[in-house]
Structure 1
Amino acid sequence: MEESVRSSSPVGEATPHIDLRQIPRPAKRTPRAVVAEDSSRKTPSTAWEAHYRAWVIGADVLATLVVIAISAAIIDKLELHNMHAIGTIAAVLCALPASRAWSQRVLGEGAEEYRRLGRGLVTAAVLVALGGLLFGALDVQPWVFIVVPVIALITFPQRYLLRQVLHRQRRQGRCLLPVMAAGAPDTVADLIGRTRTEPHVGWRVEAACTFSGTGAERDTGEVDGVPVVGRLDELAEHVRRGGYRVVAVTADQYWTPQRLQQLAWDLEGTSAEMVVAPVLMEVAGPRLNVSSVLGMPLLRVTAPRFTGGRRLVKEFVDRCASALLLTVLSPLLLMIALAIKLNDRGPVIYKQRRIGRDGASFTMFKFRTMITDADKVRKTLEKDNEGAGPLFKMRKDPRITKVGSMLRRYSLDELPQLFNVLYGRMSLVGPRPPLPEETKKYGSDARRRLLVKPGLTGLWQVSGRSDLTWDQSIRLDLRYVEDWSLALDMVILWKTVRAVVGGEGAY
């Protein structure tokens, strides 16, 4: 067996010469003096990243110290060498960085930031509990079940407020990462359009490279107003000279695995992060995992799960939250009902058949916002329809009453749907509940919306509401169905409050 693994070269024969120059190497690094000079030039454009991260860390640490100090005064009467307080501080300040809750890559965008923050605080609570068992301090229950949750109640809104400040800066054209886009002109133009319509992401495409070094039209040097600075084979050289923070690789036949790997090598030693857009499908979130099989990197896309433990948690939260909200909002519901009744003496609740999970129909409840014979009058208004796809919408619908106009602006007419959530026919978050006539026109893709319960709110609610096109509404609902997570639900619920208060896109 030993002979089988020995070299086949005869003993005494010279070892074959290996030409090290043939081994692919990263591009030669820029001399230190030049790097220092470039860094000083590009620091102002990205210095905000370190400042924002410092603010996030400082806010988390301050909230932790204040909550623990107050808790120590209440629970342990500020005893000297209070090990409960010291242990909780150590647990939180170790668990958050260990959970990468302060990673610069997730700060300011997406649900991943909140997911990591929650994971870190749960880890801190577990550490405090284990510490109590290890050292025989069995009176740590208040620190596990009260103090750490209170820290969460403060740090989560803090993160949100800091993010809103950052997003406001980005909408004003500040705190943006300079991006180099590289790909076909049409895919580069799509990326540019998305970054402009959603500036909160923090990208600003400042230059582009295409295969021919020209724009969408052969005689132009721009793509959607962004200058084309060179060809794709010159990309690394332009990135090094320009000091870009992100290299966004979009679809183009030029890109092969070998060329992408070489580009990654060439970008080593620069401040640029290489981002490759997946062009095969629009899937994101927890369903995507990168793994290696036989040395080949593969992007694994797991099947969406519509059952299981997380869905049971969602069901439990839906029922409990709807019952609590109906109890708390009962005075408001009575006032709205009285206003509708006094307005025209008509019925208070409007009932309508909608389609729920797996195509089952149910009766959806809403406060009536239109005249009593609105369905009959609609036939005379079909020519003025402004709705997208099979939807009927009018910005100035003459059927809406004065009370109904106010209710619609702030989505108060939808509050009775909490009864649908309580009965288990709807969810707090999900796709928009469709009408039966809508579902008859569904294609195979749109029918996937029926795999989950419809929601009182959803991505469509926080992304434009009635201002969305039909295709945009379908895309958002499908994205929710495919990439659902508990963290995403929390983000949508939080954003719904802001959208409703602002009355954005409602009519």
Structure 2
Amino acid sequence: MHSPTTLTREFGFRIAVPRPQKNAAVHSGVSWRRRYLLMLRLTDGLLIAATMVASTIWLDAASQEPTTRTLLGHPAAAVFVAVVWFGMTSLMRTRDPRLIGFGAGEYKRVVDASAVTFGLVAVCYVFLDSPGPRGFFFLTWPAGLILLLAGRWAWRNWLNYQSRFGHYLSKVIVMGNRQDVRYVVAQIARKSGAAYDVVGVALEGKVKFPALQVGKNAVPVVGNLDSIQDAVAASGADAVIVAGQLHRGNGYIQRLSWELEKTSTELVVASALTNVAGPRIRVRPVEGLPLMHVELPSFTGGRHVIKRCLDVLGSLSALIILAPVIAILVVAVKLDSRGPGFFVQDRVGKGGQTFRMYKLRSMVDSAEDELAQLQHLNEGNSVLFKLRDDPRVTRVGRWIRKYSLDELPQLYNVLRGDMSLVGPRPPLHDEVSKYETHTHRRLFIKPGCTGLWQINGRSDLDWEESVRLDLYYVENWSVLGDLIIMWRTVKVMLNPVGAY
């Protein structure tokens, strides 16, 4: 089973790999999911009801004309809207068990359900030719949405806390060849959060050892492909994850799914495509033939216009608010060591275009000249130079690096349009010259002040993981995802990980 090693999810909160408990079976599996979904329904219903009651009282108090009570100022109409709102949260599957506990999908569906509800309300205003109170749209909708999102956030925090003790997790067995199984188990440990507890693995061929070493954890080998049903029954697993392609082909997977149906055990297939194109994968049956479509990524269009608007508003607001802080830090840098307060360096941006990136100087002024003398101490790889105790870093520089304050001037690059608030890490020309063919896809969009690389360990990441995260972001980014990354960046700045 797992050792209590602290890990980080891709979209969510810090978690710990669960330690098995004596009563873990009571709080894991399908039964806990039913209880948890029931609590989500009750919470959503209570928050929506509270919002509508408060809005009705406020509208009654603020209304001076009887006509404003013809639709939503009336308690009966408020009840109707509350029922529709709650119904939309169910109809749009905001409590889908595959989404709860991790990722941005749960929050996005709550936002979509709320938007559809109030779109329908607006149509009712027009259809009934009712003037209606504007306050209902400008107060009730945002207030209710914030409450719903806060409720989901609170339950997710509770769920992550429970996962530390091995509670409220779906038990899974991962099956396949050794290499694919090791990769999938490692990714589940790092990214799944309050979702899966790998209770064992089943490997192709003969079982020659009792456990599979995955990082620092030894995961029990519970059998092979011939004994998977017995392993599921013995472990009480809720799902079986097929890691990669099996030598036995699709016929074996189909027969396995029929066998697992008898025990209500889910079958999950981990496709290699999900590393890059997960959100763009759609399965469309054609005459009984399930075809997996990978939709084309979009690098232009309306979403990018919205992203640019957020960049301008966000960077301008941040620069105005943080100008005194930046000024104080510049003075501290100059007093600590000789040289300018700012460090300017050429970086590669969207489409391979060069731009000048601004940072607070965190190293001695001769840092770039001294780099060649330190190459033999490189703790990174052939592409990136990393040195945990770099002698070129100044006293003030070490502190501002720890809390990522040296990157605040990049807000100016965002305002100019060289960078975005969220995006891939801005590379040096030397790094780009060593890119493999597919790695150049990082340059399809603007680099960012923060991104998945920063909230998942920064310098602690190896090169392959850094590239994987950047490519995933480039092809699958969303406005909601950007907001979540920015929120998590604030948390990482307060509790730095991998910053040196």
Shift of 1:355: 0.3
Shift of 1:456: 0.7
Question: Following superposition of structure 1 onto structure 2, how do residues 92-103 of structure 1 map, counting pairs within 5 Å?
Answer: 92-103=85-96
Q: Secondary structure of the residue that 1:191 maps to in structure 2? A: helix
Shift of 1:156: 2.4
Q: Secondary structure of the residue that 2:261 maps to in structure 1? A: coil
User: 207, 212, 215: which one pairs with 1:223?
Assistant: 212
Amino acid at match of 1:292: P
Q: 2:154 maps to which residue?
A: 161
| Distance in 2 between residues matched to 1:250 and 1:140, nearest whole Å | 55
Instruction: Provide Cα deviations, 1:172-226, integer angstroms capped at 9, x if missing partner.
Output: 4332211122222332233333333446152222233334351xxx3x2433343
| Distance in 2 between residues matched to 1:143 and 1:89, nearest whole Å | 13
Instruction: Provide Cα deviations, 1:214-260, integer angstroms capped at 9, x if missing partner.
Output: 1xxx3x24333434344423433543454311111123533422222
Q: 1:357 maps to which residue?
A: 350
Q: Is the 8 A contact 1:129 1:141 kept in 2?
A: no
Q: Go from structure 1 to structure 2 and tell me whether the alpha carbon gap of 1:419 and 1:87 turns closer, same or farther (over 3 Å shift).
A: farther
User: 39, 43, 60: which one pairs with 1:76?
Assistant: 60
Q: 1:500 maps to which residue?
A: 493
Task: Answer yes or no: is 1:49 the counterpart of 2:33.
Answer: yes
Shift of 1:432: 0.2
User: 353, 377, 384: which one pairs with 1:384?
Assistant: 377
Question: Following superposition of structure 1 onto structure 2, how do residues 112-131 of structure 1 map, counting pairs within 5 Å?
Answer: 112-131=105-124
| Distance in 2 between residues matched to 1:416 and 1:109, nearest whole Å | 32
Q: 1:30 maps to which residue?
A: none
Question: Following superposition of structure 1 onto structure 2, how do residues 233-382 of structure 1 map, counting pairs within 5 Å?
Answer: 233-240=226-233, 242-279=235-272, 282-344=275-337, 346-382=339-375
State the superposition RMSD in angstroms.
2.5
Unaligned runs of 5+ in 1: 1-39
Q: Go from structure 1 to structure 2 and tell me whether the alpha carbon gap of 1:89 and 1:355 turns closer, same or farther (over 3 Å shift).
A: same
Q: Go from structure 1 to structure 2 and tell me whether the alpha carbon gap of 1:331 and 1:157 turns closer, same or farther (over 3 Å shift).
A: farther
Q: Go from structure 1 to structure 2 and tell me whether the alpha carbon gap of 1:180 and 1:91 turns closer, same or farther (over 3 Å shift).
A: same
Amino acid at match of 1:302: E
| Distance in 2 between residues matched to 1:55 and 1:419, nearest whole Å | 45
Q: Is the 8 A contact 2:342 2:360 kept in 1?
A: yes
Q: 2:409 maps to which residue?
A: 416
Q: Is the 8 A contact 1:87 1:128 kept in 2?
A: no
Instruction: Provide Cα deviations, 1:7-42, integer angstroms capped at 9, x if missing partner.
Output: xxxxxxxxxxxxxxxxxxxxxxxxxxxxxxxxx996
Task: Answer yes or no: is 1:487 the counterpart of 2:480.
Answer: yes
User: 164, 173, 192: which one pairs with 2:166?
Assistant: 173
| Distance in 2 between residues matched to 1:371 and 1:67, nearest whole Å | 56
Task: Answer yes or no: is 1:61 the counterpart of 2:45.
Answer: yes
Shift of 1:272: 1.4
Q: Is the 8 A contact 1:319 1:421 kept in 2?
A: yes
Q: Go from structure 1 to structure 2 and tell me whether the alpha carbon gap of 1:376 and 1:230 turns closer, same or farther (over 3 Å shift).
A: closer
Amino acid at match of 1:405: R
Q: Secondary structure of the residue that 1:282 maps to in structure 2? A: helix
Q: Is the 8 A contact 1:247 1:274 kept in 2?
A: yes
Shift of 1:169: 2.7
Q: 2:390 maps to which residue?
A: 397
Q: Is the 8 A contact 1:243 1:271 kept in 2?
A: no
Shift of 1:436: 1.1
Q: Is the 8 A contact 1:352 1:365 kept in 2?
A: yes
| Distance in 2 between residues matched to 1:62 and 1:410, nearest whole Å | 40
Q: Go from structure 1 to structure 2 and tell me whether the alpha carbon gap of 1:60 and 1:447 turns closer, same or farther (over 3 Å shift).
A: same
Q: Is the 8 A contact 2:364 2:394 kept in 1?
A: yes
| Distance in 2 between residues matched to 1:170 and 1:243, nearest whole Å | 18
Q: Is the 8 A contact 1:84 1:143 kept in 2?
A: no
TM-score normalized by the length of structure 2: 0.85
| Distance in 1 between residues matched to 2:159 and 2:26, nearest whole Å | 18
Runs of 4+ with >6 A deviation = none
Q: Is the 8 A contact 1:128 1:140 kept in 2?
A: no
Q: Go from structure 1 to structure 2 and tell me whether the alpha carbon gap of 1:159 and 1:186 turns closer, same or farther (over 3 Å shift).
A: same
Q: 2:11 maps to which residue?
A: none
| Distance in 2 between residues matched to 1:44 and 1:351, nearest whole Å | 54
Amino acid at match of 1:208: V
Question: Following superposition of structure 1 onto structure 2, how do residues 29-44 of structure 1 map, counting pairs within 5 Å?
Answer: 44=27
Q: Is the 8 A contact 1:243 1:272 kept in 2?
A: no
| Distance in 1 between residues matched to 2:274 and 2:37, nearest whole Å | 32
Instruction: Provide Cα deviations, 1:357-384, integer angstroms capped at 9, x if missing partner.
Output: 0000001111112222222233332222
TM-score normalized by the length of structure 1: 0.84
* Mean Cα deviation higher: 333-342 or 292-301: 333-342
Amino acid at match of 2:56: A
Shift of 1:281: 6.4
| Distance in 2 between residues matched to 1:227 and 1:380, nearest whole Å | 47
Q: Is the 8 A contact 2:338 2:365 kept in 1?
A: no
Amino acid at match of 1:223: L
Question: Following superposition of structure 1 onto structure 2, how do residues 418-437 of structure 1 map, counting pairs within 5 Å?
Answer: 418-437=411-430
* Mean Cα deviation higher: 135-144 or 309-318: 135-144
| Distance in 1 between residues matched to 2:133 and 2:263, nearest whole Å | 48
Q: Is the 8 A contact 1:213 1:228 kept in 2?
A: no
Shift of 1:106: 0.9
Higher relative contact order (Cα pairs below 8 Å, separated by 6+ residues): 2
| Distance in 1 between residues matched to 2:166 and 2:401, nearest whole Å | 33
Unaligned runs of 5+ in 2: 1-22, 63-68
Q: 2:9 maps to which residue?
A: none
Shift of 1:328: 2.4
The share of aligned pairs that are identical, in percent, is: 37
Count of matched residue positions in the alignment of Structure 1 and Structure 2: 464
